[in-house]
Amino acid sequence: MNESNYKRRLEEVKKFLNVNDAKLISHYYVDSEIQRLTEDTGGCVADSLQMAKFGTEQTEKNLIIAGVRFMGETAKILNPEKKIYVLDKDATCSLDDSCGVDDFKNFCDKYPDRDIVVYANTSAEVKAMSDWVVTSSIAIPLVENLASRGKKIIWAPDKYLGSYIQDQTGVDMIMWDGACIVHEEYKTIELKKLIQELGDCEVLVHPESPRSIIQLADVVGSTTKLINASKISKSKNIIVATEKGIFYQMKKLSPEKNFFEAPTEGEGATCKSCGRCPWMHLNTFDKLMNVINQNNEIHLDEKTVAHAKKSINRMIEFEDKYYQKNKRAS
Ligand code: CIZ
């Protein structure tokens, strides 16, 4: 889109947010136009937890979430007094979808002596059933802490992130069998070829990727960690194995570097997503301008909100203490 069209859209969005007493909050994985509109209207582009935390600091009555449904639900759990809207209620997540609440309850009932730890990419109902919610940025220290207190764990829904945590910590974990359709598609042989072709390069991998991809990484971590790593990297060429929307932030921070998508094509490829989450892609300007209606508002019952909030707040308290302690130690 050319600059004058962008400026026209920006003015429209500013007016729309003002009239509706709303703030726009977006995930790193949505299209660059929506990320840019978010930043230019004083909103926040971040990972799912930071998005929800940012919402708690806003005075507007309405929060508009550009991302997928579980992100809108997390915003509602932490901001129950506000109205929360998502651009498209069909914007789901394969991890969330893989973990239905009844099936998950039956699974957990088989292991009553274990703490239930679930990833942020789950429904509000699954979060409400859990003892702990974690994001990829805090999963390893939190699981290590539980294990140091003699806890055994049920982990859901991402089997690859679960295996990565287990490889790093050696903790006893029973895994749910879910996967992200974007990260699952990265191809090991093709990635090795690209690394060889480029020579001087750094490989940044999100831990929702399969183990054979993680083994080729220079840095493994959450979206926020990968963005920081791309900024401080000394390499001119950066290969990234996570959703393509993240390139907008990386290129903004390091316009002089070359960014490459980790390959999703090659031997054995079906390429259902080709590195692009089909649901993140549903967040468009037109939907944003029509978002304030009953259909797009997130509604959760009070009991679910209360239980899910407990599990999320436990993580936030742990995270705050963990980072304070590590800052003191460094
Ligand atoms: O929690 C998030 O925002 C996701 C989906 C990934 C991450 O690593 O930040």
Residues 204-214 have pLDDT tens digits of: 999 999 999 99
SS3 per-residue string spanning the chain:
CCHHHHHHHHHHHHHHHHHCCEEEEEECCCCHHHHHHHHHCCCEEECHHHHHHHHHCCCCCEEEEECCHHHHHHHHHHCCCCEEEECCCCCCCHHHHHCCHHHHHHHHHCCCCCEEEEECCCCHHHHHHCCEEECCCCHHHHHHHHHHCCCCEEEECEHHHHHHHHHHHCCCEEECCECCCCHHHCCHHHHHHHHHHHCCCEEEECCCCCHHHHCCCCEECCHHHHHHHHHHCCCCEEEEECCHHHHHHHHHHCCCCEEEECCCCCCCCCCCCCCCCCCHHHCCHHHHHCCCCHHHECCCCHHHHHHHHHHHHHHHHHHHHHHHHHHHHC
How does pLDDT run across 125-183, given as a tens digit for each residue?
Answer: 999 999 999 999 999 999 999 999 999 999 999 999 999 999 999 999 999 999 999 99
**Cα(8) to centroid(ligand 1), Å:** 31
**Cα(290) to centroid(ligand 1), Å:** 26
Question: Is 126 within 8 Å of 163 (Cβ atoms)?
Answer: no
Question: Is 265 within 8 Å of 271 (Cβ atoms)?
Answer: yes
Distance CA 49, CA 59 (A): 18
The pLDDT value given to residue 215: 98
Distance CA 274, CA 88 (A): 21
Question: Is 186 within 8 Å of 263 (Cβ atoms)?
Answer: yes
Same structural domain, 86 and 102? no
The pLDDT value given to residue 112: 97
The verdict on residue 39 lying in a domain is: yes
Question: Is 22 within 8 Å of 63 (Cβ atoms)?
Answer: yes
Same structural domain, 206 and 130? no
**What token pair was written down for 111?**
């292991």
**What is each CA distance from 86 to 22, 69, 75, 130, 133, in whole angstroms?**
12, 7, 10, 24, 21
The pLDDT value given to residue 330: 38
The pLDDT value given to residue 325: 82
Distance CA 276, CA 76 (A): 26
Which structural domain range is residue 192 located in? Answer: 183-276
The ligand 1 atom at the shortest distance from the C-alpha of residue 206 is 8
Q: Is 249 in the pocket of ligand 1 (CB under 6 A)?
A: no
Same structural domain, 102 and 243? no
Same structural domain, 188 and 268? yes
Distance CA 306, CA 302 (A): 6
Same structural domain, 19 and 57? yes
The pLDDT value given to residue 31: 97
Q: Is 64 in the pocket of ligand 1 (CB under 6 A)?
A: no
The verdict on residue 322 lying in a domain is: yes
The verdict on residue 243 lying in a domain is: yes
Q: Is 94 in the pocket of ligand 1 (CB under 6 A)?
A: no
The verdict on residue 304 lying in a domain is: no
Same structural domain, 171 and 320? yes
Which of the listed residues 165, 223, 226 should we mutate to test ligand 1's pocket, taking the one with most ligand atoms within 8 A of CB?
A: 223
The pLDDT value given to residue 47: 95
Same structural domain, 11 and 85? yes
The verdict on residue 259 lying in a domain is: yes
Q: Is 120 in the pocket of ligand 1 (CB under 6 A)?
A: yes
Q: Which residue has the tokens 């295996």?
A: 163
Same structural domain, 87 and 106? no
How does pLDDT run across 261-289, given as a tens digit for each residue?
Answer: 999 976 555 655 578 999 999 999 999 99
Same structural domain, 100 and 116? yes
Total count of domains within the chain? 3
Question: Is 135 within 8 Å of 222 (Cβ atoms)?
Answer: yes
Q: Which residue has the tokens 């929360």?
A: 84
* pTM assigned to the model: 0.95
The ligand 1 atom at the shortest distance from the C-alpha of residue 225 is 8
Same structural domain, 59 and 77? yes
Q: Is 74 in the pocket of ligand 1 (CB under 6 A)?
A: no
Distance CA 310, CA 102 (A): 20
Same structural domain, 192 and 255? yes
The verdict on residue 148 lying in a domain is: yes
The pLDDT value given to residue 106: 98
* Mode of pairing for the β-strands spanning 22-27 and 62-66: parallel
The verdict on residue 73 lying in a domain is: yes
| Residue of the CA atom closest to atom 1 of ligand 1 | 48
Q: Is 47 in the pocket of ligand 1 (CB under 6 A)?
A: yes
**Which strands, in side-by-side order, build the sheet including 62-66?**
44-46, 22-27, 62-66, 83-86
Question: Is 93 within 8 Å of 71 (Cβ atoms)?
Answer: no
* Mode of pairing for the β-strands spanning 202-205 and 237-241: parallel
The pLDDT value given to residue 79: 95
| Residue of the CA atom closest to atom 8 of ligand 1 | 222
Q: Is 223 in the pocket of ligand 1 (CB under 6 A)?
A: yes
Which residues of the chain, if any, have pLDDT below 70? 266-273, 327-330
Q: Is 96 in the pocket of ligand 1 (CB under 6 A)?
A: no
Q: Is 48 in the pocket of ligand 1 (CB under 6 A)?
A: yes
Same structural domain, 173 and 214? no
Task: Report the length, in residues, of the chain.
Answer: 330
The verdict on residue 305 lying in a domain is: no
CATH number at residue 122: 3.40.50.10800
